[in-house]
C-alpha cells in the first residue's frame, strides 16, 4: 500500500537520501535500521509529508503523498505533548478536524487511552507523566484518528531498557489490535528484529538503502532463541559490510 | 500570612464546625477543643513550613523604628513615631478623603493596564504572526522605547492637561512597549517542534494559534505583565507628583513640601501595599493560567 520509489532528498549540496526504495504492505510492520546520518529520519519525514522537497515517488494506496495527512499518524522521538493540555486534550487534539460527532470522538479518545494503558490519567498534565507514559500518550494521539499507517521515529530511543522492552510488547499488542501498518525507525537492531516483519537496512554517505531483510520468526518472539540471534547477526552483517558481502538470505533492492 | 489569618479566624467558642456546643469546662477540654478547631493544625503548619521566617525582618525594622523614636535617636521631623503615623493615617482617612486619592491612582493604573496590555499583546501578536506588520512597527517602537516614560509627561500634560487622561496615556505607553516586544519575542520563540506537530495533526492556522501559539506565550506575557505593572505603578506616583492635583503621588510630594513626614510615611506604606496588592492579583491570575507548569520551588537535594 505504501510505495517509496527512487527517492532522493538533497539539502543544498548534501545528499541526505539517495535513491531509496521500500514498500509496506497492508498491516505490515516494517523497521528501518541504520546508523545516525543514514537518512532514516529524513525518509520518515518525507513519508509523513512534513517535508515534500524530494525527487522520486512516494505513494500511499497509489496516491502521491502531498503534505501531511491524518491517514499517516506519526510518533516523534520525544513525546511532544503540549504541556498546557491534559492527557485527554493532548489525544483529543488529533481529532480536532475529524468528521465525527462529539460523542464519537469522546468514545474514540477513551478507547485509545485505554488501549495504551493510561486510563485514570486523563486529567494529568504532561509534566506529571513519566517518559514511558508520555510516549504512550503520544502513541494514543497518533492512533486515535485511525490512520492506515503509523510512522514511529525512534519512539523508544529515550527510554530506559526496562520501559523500552515493556513498550515494545505494548507496541506489538497495539499493532495486532489495530491492524495498522507501521514503519519503525530505530537504531536498535534487537528492537527491529523483535517487532517487525521486514527490516530495511540503511547506510550513510549518502544515506541509502542497502538491504531488506525479511523477518520470518514466529510470534511471540523469544529474544534468547538461536533463530532470533541468527537474524540479528544477519542484520548486523548487512549494517556493517552492506554491499560487500551478499548472504543468500538477504534480498537486495539496489 | 494565610495561616496567621486562619489562626486568628479560628471559630469562636461553641461554633467549631459541628463540634459540641457546650463550653469547655477544664483546661484539658479547652485544649481538646482548640485541637479540634483546626487552630493547632494551622499553627503547626505555620511553624513547620517556617513561614515565620518572613516575619522576622519586618518585625525587627518595626522594633528599631519604635526604639529610635522612644529613645529620641532621630528627630521626629525626620522620622515620626509609628503611633504618629497611624494617627496621621486615621486623620487623612477621615478628614482628607484619603480613599479618594488612593482610588484616583488605582483608577489610572487600572485603565492604563487595560489599554497598554490589550494594545501591546494585540499588536505584538499581529507582528508575531505577520512579518510585514513586524517590519512596520518594530523600528518605530524600538526607537520610541529609548525615550523614558517620564520624559513624555511634560508634552502629554501640555496636550491633555493635569487630569487623569494624560497619565493614563503615559502609563499605557510604558506598559505597551514591553508587552509588545515580549509578546513578539515569545511568538518567535514558540518551539518549532510544536508547529511541526500541528502540521502533522492537520490543524488549521487558526487552531494552531489558539491551541499552540497562544498558550505557549502565556508564561512570558504574564511575567511581562507583572513586571510592567510594577514599573507603571512607580510611574503613577512620579506622574502625579510632577503634575496633578490628586492621587497618592500628589499627596506624597505635597507632604514632602510641607515637611509632614508622618503623612509622607502613610503614603509610602499605602503605595507599597497597593503595589503589592496589584502584583498579588496578577500572581493569582498567573498561577491559575499556568497550573500546567511544574515550577522550581528552590529546593535542591
The closest CB to that of A96, out of B193, B201, B293, belongs to B201
* Chain A residues near residue B211 by CB distance under 8 angstroms: 82, 85, 93, 96
User: What nine digits make up the cell of A147?
Assistant: 490512520
pLDDT one-digit tens code per residue, A168-203: 888 888 888 888 999 999 988 888 889 898 998 888
Phi, psi for A240 (deg, rounded to 5)? -85, -55
B56 CA to chain A: closest CA distance, Å?
A: 36
CA distance B22 to B31: 14
Best residue of B191, B201, B294, B297 to probe chain A, by most A CBs closer than 10 Å: B201
Are A147 and A70 in contact by the 8 Å Cβ rule? The answer is yes
**Dihedral Cα A55, A75, A95, B122, nearest 10 deg:** -80
* Chain B residues near residue A50 by CB distance under 8 angstroms: 196, 199-200
* Structure confidence at residue B24 (pLDDT): 52
User: How many Cα neighbours within 13 Å face the side chain of B264?
Assistant: 16
Flag whether A253 is in a domain. Answer: no
CA distance B253 to B155: 21
pLDDT one-digit tens code per residue, B120-152: 999 999 999 999 999 999 899 989 889 998 899
Handedness of CA A169, A171, A177, A183 (dihedral sign): negative
**Would you mind telling me the total number of residues written for chain B in this entry?**
301
User: How many Cα neighbours within 13 Å face the side chain of A53?
Assistant: 5
* Chain B residues near residue A84 by CB distance under 8 angstroms: 215-216, 218, 292
CATH number at A64 reads 3.40.50.300
Provide the mean pLDDT of chain B: 85
CB pairs under 8 A between A and B: 53
Name the DSSP letter for residue B97. -
Q: By residue range, what is the domain housing residue A157?
A: 2-71+147-244
Contact A68 B199 (CB under 8 A): yes
Best residue of B193, B198, B199, B202 to probe chain A, by most A CBs closer than 10 Å: B202
Residue B199 touches chain A, beta carbons under 8 Å: yes
Q: What average pLDDT does this structure show over B185-205?
A: 93
Flag whether A63 is in a domain. Answer: yes
Domains and CATH numbers, chain B: 2-79 (no CATH), 96-289 (1.10.3720.10)
Whether the per-residue pLDDT at B295 is higher than 60: the answer is no
* Structure confidence at residue A251 (pLDDT): 47
pLDDT one-digit tens code per residue, B102-112: 999 999 999 99
Residue with cell string 460527532: A101
A246 CA to chain B: closest CA distance, Å?
A: 39
* Structure confidence at residue B194 (pLDDT): 95
B184 CA to chain A: closest CA distance, Å?
A: 20
Flag whether A45 is in a domain. Answer: yes
* Chain B residues near residue A70 by CB distance under 8 angstroms: 201-202
Name the DSSP letter for residue B130. -
Flag whether A67 is in a domain. Answer: yes
Flag whether A92 is in a domain. Answer: no
pLDDT one-digit tens code per residue, B213-266: 999 999 999 999 999 999 999 999 999 998 888 999 999 999 999 999 999 999
Cβ within 8 Å of A, B 206-235: 207, 211-212, 215-216, 218
- Give pairs for B279-286: CB < 8 Å, separation 24+: B279/B226, B279/B229, B279/B230, B282/B222, B282/B225, B282/B226, B282/B229, B283/B226, B285/B222, B286/B222, B286/B223, B286/B225, B286/B226
The closest CB to that of B292, out of A50, A84, A94, belongs to A84
CA distance A216 to A172: 15
In A, minimum Cα distance to B290 occurs at: A84
Contact B202 A84 (CB under 8 A): no
Q: At what angle do helices B214-242 and B98-129 cross, to 10 degrees?
A: 140
* Structure confidence at residue B3 (pLDDT): 44
**Dihedral Cα A96, A98, A100, A102, nearest 10 deg:** 0
Give strand pairing partners of A251. Answer: A212
CA distance A2 to A63: 9
- Give me the number of domains chain A comprises: 1
* Chain A residues near residue B291 by CB distance under 8 angstroms: 125
Whole-angstrom CA distances from A218 to A28, A215, A225 are: 15, 9, 11
B296 pLDDT band, cuts 50/70/90, is: low
pLDDT one-digit tens code per residue, B154-188: 999 999 988 889 999 999 999 999 999 999 999 99
Flag whether A28 is in a domain. Answer: yes
A236 CA to chain B: closest CA distance, Å?
A: 32
Whether the per-residue pLDDT at A8 is higher than 50: the answer is yes
Whether the per-residue pLDDT at A18 is higher than 90: the answer is no
- Cβ neighbour number for residue B227 with a 10 Å cutoff: 16
Residue A93 touches chain B, beta carbons under 8 Å: yes
Amino acid at each position: 500500500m505504501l510505495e517509496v520509489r527512487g527517492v532522493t532528498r538533497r539539502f543544498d549540496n548534501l545528499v541526505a537520501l539517495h535513491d531509496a526504495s521500500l514498500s509496506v504492505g497492508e498491516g505490515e510492520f516494517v523497521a528501518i535500521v541504520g546508523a545516525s546520518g543514514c537518512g532514516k529520519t529524513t525518509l520518515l519525514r518525507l513519508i509523513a509529508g512534513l517535508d515534500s522537497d524530494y525527487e522520486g515517488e512516494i505513494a500511499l494506496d497509489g496516491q502521491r503523498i502531498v503534505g501531511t495527512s491524518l491517514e499517516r499518524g506519526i510518533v516523534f522521538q520525544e513525546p511532544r505533548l503540549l504541556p498546557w493540555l491534559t492527557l485527554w486534550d493532548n489525544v483529543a487534539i488529533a481529532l480536532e478536524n475529524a468528521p465525527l460527532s462529539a460523542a464519537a470522538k469522546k468514545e474514540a479518545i477513551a478507547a485509545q487511552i485505554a488501549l495504551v494503558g493510561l486510563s485514570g490519567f486523563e486529567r494529568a498534565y504532561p509534566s506529571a507523566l513519566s517518559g514511558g507514559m508520555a510516549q504512550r500518550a503520544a502513541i494514543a494521539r497518533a492512533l486515535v484518528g485511525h490512520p492506515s499507517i503509523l510512522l514511529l521515529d525512534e519512539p523508544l530511543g529515550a527510554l530506559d531498557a526496562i520501559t523500552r522492552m515493556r513498550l515494545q510488547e505494548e507496541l506489538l499488542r497495539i499493532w495486532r489490535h489495530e491492524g495498522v501498518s507501521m514503519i519503525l525507525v530505530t537504531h536498535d537492531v534487537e528492537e527491529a528484529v523483535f517487532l517487525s516483519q521486514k527490516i530495511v537496512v540503511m547506510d550513510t554517505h549518502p544515506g541509502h538503502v542497502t538491504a531488506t531483510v525479511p523477518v520470518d520468526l514466529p510470534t511471540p518472539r523469544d529474544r534468547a532463541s538461536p533463530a532470533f540471534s541468527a537474524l540479528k547477526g544477519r542484520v548486523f552483517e548487512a549494517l556493517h559490510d552492506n554491499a560487500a558481502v551478499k548472504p543468500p538470505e538477504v534480498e537486495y533492492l539496489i | 500570612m494565610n495561616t496567621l489569618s486562619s489562626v486568628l479566624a479560628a471559630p469562636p467558642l461553641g461554633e467549631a464546625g459541628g463540634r459540641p456546643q457546650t463550653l469547655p469546662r477544664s483546661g484539658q477540654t479547652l485544649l481538646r477543643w482548640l485541637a479540634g478547631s483546626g487552630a493547632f493544625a494551622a499553627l503547626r503548619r505555620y511553624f513547620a513550613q517556617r513561614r515565620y521566617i518572613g516575619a522576622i525582618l519586618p518585625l525587627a525594622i518595626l522594633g528599631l523604628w519604635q526604639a529610635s523614636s522612644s529613645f529620641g535617636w532621630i528627630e521626629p521631623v525626620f522620622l515620626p513615631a509609628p503611633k504618629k503615623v497611624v494617627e496621621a493615617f486615621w486623620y487623612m482617612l477621615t478628614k482628607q478623603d484619603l480613599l479618594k486619592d488612593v482610588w484616583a491612582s488605582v483608577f489610572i493604573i487600572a485603565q492604563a493596564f487595560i489599554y497598554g496590555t490589550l494594545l501591546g499583546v494585540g499588536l505584538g501578536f499581529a507582528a508575531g504572526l505577520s512579518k510585514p506588520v513586524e517590519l512596520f512597527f518594530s523600528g518605530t517602537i524600538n526607537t520610541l522605547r529609548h525615550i523614558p516614560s517620564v520624559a513624555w509627561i511634560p508634552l502629554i500634560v501640555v496636550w491633555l492637561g493635569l487630569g487623569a487622561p494624560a497619565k493614563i496615556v503615559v502609563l499605557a505607553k510604558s506598559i505597551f512597549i514591553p508587552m509588545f516586544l515580549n509578546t513578539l519575542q515569545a511568538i518567535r520563540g514558540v518551539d518549532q517542534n510544536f508547529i511541526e506537530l500541528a502540521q502533522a495533526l492537520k490543524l488549521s492556522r487558526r487552531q494552531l494559534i489558539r491551541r499552540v501559539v497562544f498558550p505557549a506565550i502565556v508564561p512570558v506575557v504574564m511575567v511581562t505583565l507583572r513586571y510592567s505593572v510594577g514599573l507603571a505603578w512607580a510611574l503613577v506616583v512620579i506622574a502625579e507628583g510632577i503634575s496633578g492635583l490628586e492621587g497618592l503621588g500628589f499627596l506624597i510630594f505635597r507632604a514632602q513640601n510641607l515637611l509632614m513626614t508622618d503623612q509622607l510615611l502613610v503614603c509610602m506604606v499605602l503605595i507599597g501595599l497597593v503595589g503589592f496588592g496589584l502584583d498579588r492579583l496578577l500572581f493569582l491570575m498567573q498561577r491559575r493560567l499556568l497550573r500546567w507548569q511544574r515550577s522550581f520551588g528552590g529546593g535542591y537535594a
